Structure 1
Amino acid sequence: MTDSPRRAQDDPTAPTRPPIMSPQGGSNNRSSGGGNTSTPASSAIAASQAPAGSPAPSLPPFSSKSKVPPQRWVKRYRTEVSASLSSAISTACAFPLDSVKTRMQTYKYDGFADCLKHTYANEGLRGFFRGVTAPLASVTIVRTISFSIYQRAKYIYSDWLSKNFGFDVLKHVNTHGTYPNLWSVACFGAAGATAGSCITVIACPFELTKLSAQVSVLLSEKTQCPDSRSRAVASSYQNKGTLKTMANIIRHRGLTGLYTGYRLHLLRDTLGTSLYFITYESSKQLLTTFAGSATQPSTLPVFIAGGLCGIVSWSLIYPIDSAKSIYQRNALLYSKGQKVKPVKIHFFQRQMYRGLGVSMTRSCVLNAIFFSSFEFWKKRIDKLEDKPGW
């Protein structure tokens, strides 16, 4: 059980243990879930292409007086830099589909084409990008922290299973020719649920602000407002920027108003993130085994696994997401103290799946762009050359 795992598979969440750095800057290959001293975010998004156990270069803290140039810091934190750029690019490209998905969830349209036509006719091209600032600002923070928590939780749960049941999940997954089993599914699912539940505290205010901006024009329509007071509240959100929208939510519903629908959001992210990582890790392991190569897998298994995890997780938790969106939309029509009618989750009602096809398409597009962009920027940064004396 103490053998070092094989070379890490080349993907953003390769389940390999990072090296434990000694005080002198060297490393040993002792596996330990609690002794990880590698950069959290770098182990969260990608294990990089280096073999498991390869220590990262030790650098002194960067400051304006430091002799370490910024270029070396970019290389040292290439994972964070690549993930930040890729998250922004993929979010911006897939945002119109996310906007259409939200509109179809919260309002009734005669299909995808009707939603496109209605949005463009009333709001123009800008309507598809309304509210994009919030996710652009939050996606990097949320995604990096989420993957970091997942990575650490995965080590902890794997060590616990190894100590109590004698099965090392990470060693099993990194052994070529193996298949997913109950232990690996339990480990990755628990780690994903931990990450999803923790990140909701940060993600909920941003997502509520994004939803408010996306449906602000529809909110102000007379047919959607029960009375004149609600119309006044709804109109305050119309055509406002991200910060003004957030300020209006606080003004009408108080600071806790930013966490409207938190319970549904928590349920969605806990289950959804768990399913996401179970599908990703398991399908990647299967595809790598079927490829029949003992070396690092090509990008195709990672690409396919990324697309599958988005499709599977969204299709299973979509009614929860719809209920959350509807409840948040309804709450935006009322001020603090006014009762908002609860929204029940119906898994077998067709209306709860409005926009599902758009959502799954968006998930595939977003993940394809993200992983492609991530690999592109990481390789570009790896090619940066240090000048003599650096």
Structure 2
Amino acid sequence: MAAIAVESAPVPPPPAPPAAPDRFRTVKELAAGSFGGIVQVLSGQPFDTVKVRLQTQSRTNPTYSGALDCVKKTIQHEGFKGFYKGTLTPLLGVGACVSIQFAALEAAKRALQARKPAGASLSIPELFLAGSLSGVANSILSGPIEHVRTRLQVQTGSAASAAPGTVFYTGPLDLARKVYRAHGIGAIYKGQGITIGREIVGYGTYFSTYEWLLQRHCQQAKVQRCDVESWRACLYGAISGYTLWLVIYPIDAVKSMLQTDAFAPGERQYANAFDCVRQTVRNVGVSGLYRGFGTCMLRAGPVNGVTFVAYEAAMRFLIPL
């Protein structure tokens, strides 16, 4: 009787060893975030200057009738460079802020991912938590940086034309030095409480929107993050920018008004953030919390779109190194 040959089942190849952790991953994320932040400042500073000037102008005797009037008067009295007042601070500082945002976001995502089954995606609440934690980390720098920038943005004219007794700041370092000497380190962090609140809500919304859109696309198209087209990253970044400012704009307006208020308690217009909201709504209406909103939304899409493109492009370049 002939023996029957029995084919043995193919032996599956041994599983590939896990990739060694990238010891410099956080450094690369910080570097890529810095690049994204620099791109963000250079592209968005003129819009931000107009936004801040509209937010902080007098309610009873406004300097500008609207965004276009602000642009016209700024060019007329200060030239195009007027839109870039206080740029040195965010150029150095926002680069650092955005690098912290992305590095803290990725660290939080890795910590949350480690608690989930292999292959499971982070949920929207988890992505929101990771984004909020990045916002808290970011606020350590963003509070004083935005305070300095905001005061310089609303300062018009020159030292020679300043009214007698008015303190004029020649730049961010001069402002920081004069404020510290006159009022102490706490004054540099003026408006810090509302800044932290803004960052928790804002960056939770911002990053959860972007990460969810990107995660969803990668799952549906069965591609890796590094394979996502730049135009798609720009689109998702723009959408995230719009959601960010739709959520936090009134908070940001209050922050700007508090940061440009007087330092001495007896000279302040607002006792705190709640008093600022109450006075603004009582005297102007809810619209007083949305001055400059149109300018901000014009800026939000393109600026945040290019920020994410710059970050993703930098990470693609740095990861293989």
Matched, 1:241 2:171: yes
Contact 2:230 2:309 in 1 (8 A): no
Identical aligned residues as a percent: 25
Among candidates 18, 23, 26, match of residue 28 of structure 1: 18
Give the equivalent residue in structure 2 for 1:120.
75
Deviations 1:287-338 (A, max 9, x none): 4456x4546332232111111111101111110000010111113xx43775
Aligned runs of 1:153-232 on 2, under 5 Å? 153-160=108-115, 162=116, 168=117, 171-173=119-121, 184-217=123-156, 232=165
Gaps of 5+ in 1: 1-26, 46-79, 163-167, 174-182, 221-227, 385-390
Give the alignment's TM-score, normalised by structure 2.
0.78
Q: Which one-letter code corresponds to 1:273 in the other structure?
A: Y
Deviations 1:141-170 (A, max 9, x none): 11112211111111222333x2xxxxx4x8
Q: Which one-letter code corresponds to 1:297 in the other structure?
A: V
Q: Following TM superposition, by how much is the alpha carbon of 1:262 offset from its aligned partner in structure 2, in angstroms?
A: 0.6
Aligned runs of 1:1-390 on 2, under 5 Å? 28-29=18-19, 37-42=23-28, 44=29, 80=31, 83-107=33-57, 108=62, 109-160=64-115, 162=116, 168=117, 171-173=119-121, 184-217=123-156, 232=165, 235-238=166-169, 240-288=170-218, 292-294=221-223, 296-331=227-262, 334-335=263-264, 341=270, 342-344=272-274, 345=277, 349-374=286-311
Q: Which one-letter code corresponds to 1:357 in the other structure?
A: G
Q: Following TM superposition, by how much is the alpha carbon of 1:90 offset from its aligned partner in structure 2, in angstroms?
A: 3.3
Cα distance change, pair 319–153 in 1 and its aligned pair in 2 (3 A):
same
Where 1:236 maps in the other structure, the secondary structure is coil
Q: Structure 1 CA distance, aligned partners of 2:19 and 2:319?
A: 24
Q: Structure 2 CA distance, aligned partners of 1:339 and 1:157?
A: 43
Give the equivalent residue in structure 1 for 2:13.
none
Q: Structure 2 CA distance, aligned partners of 1:356 and 1:302?
A: 24
Contact 1:311 1:363 in 2 (8 A): yes
Q: Structure 2 CA distance, aligned partners of 1:260 and 1:314?
A: 22
Segment of structure 1 superposing worse, 139-148 or 272-281: 139-148
Gaps of 5+ in 2: 1-16
Cα distance change, pair 219–204 in 1 and its aligned pair in 2 (3 A):
farther
Please state which structure has a larger fraction of its residues in helix.
Answer: 2
Q: Which one-letter code corresponds to 1:88 in the other structure?
A: I
Contact 2:241 2:305 in 1 (8 A): no
Q: Structure 2 CA distance, aligned partners of 1:256 and 1:268?
A: 19
Cα distance change, pair 289–356 in 1 and its aligned pair in 2 (3 A):
farther
Contact 2:240 2:304 in 1 (8 A): no
Give the alignment's TM-score, normalised by structure 1.
0.65
Where 1:308 maps in the other structure, the secondary structure is helix
Contact 2:45 2:83 in 1 (8 A): yes
Cα distance change, pair 159–383 in 1 and its aligned pair in 2 (3 A):
closer
Superposition RMSD in Å = 3.2
Which has more radius of gyration? 2
The structure with higher relative contact order (CA 8 Å, sep 6+) is 2
Where 1:330 maps in the other structure, the secondary structure is coil
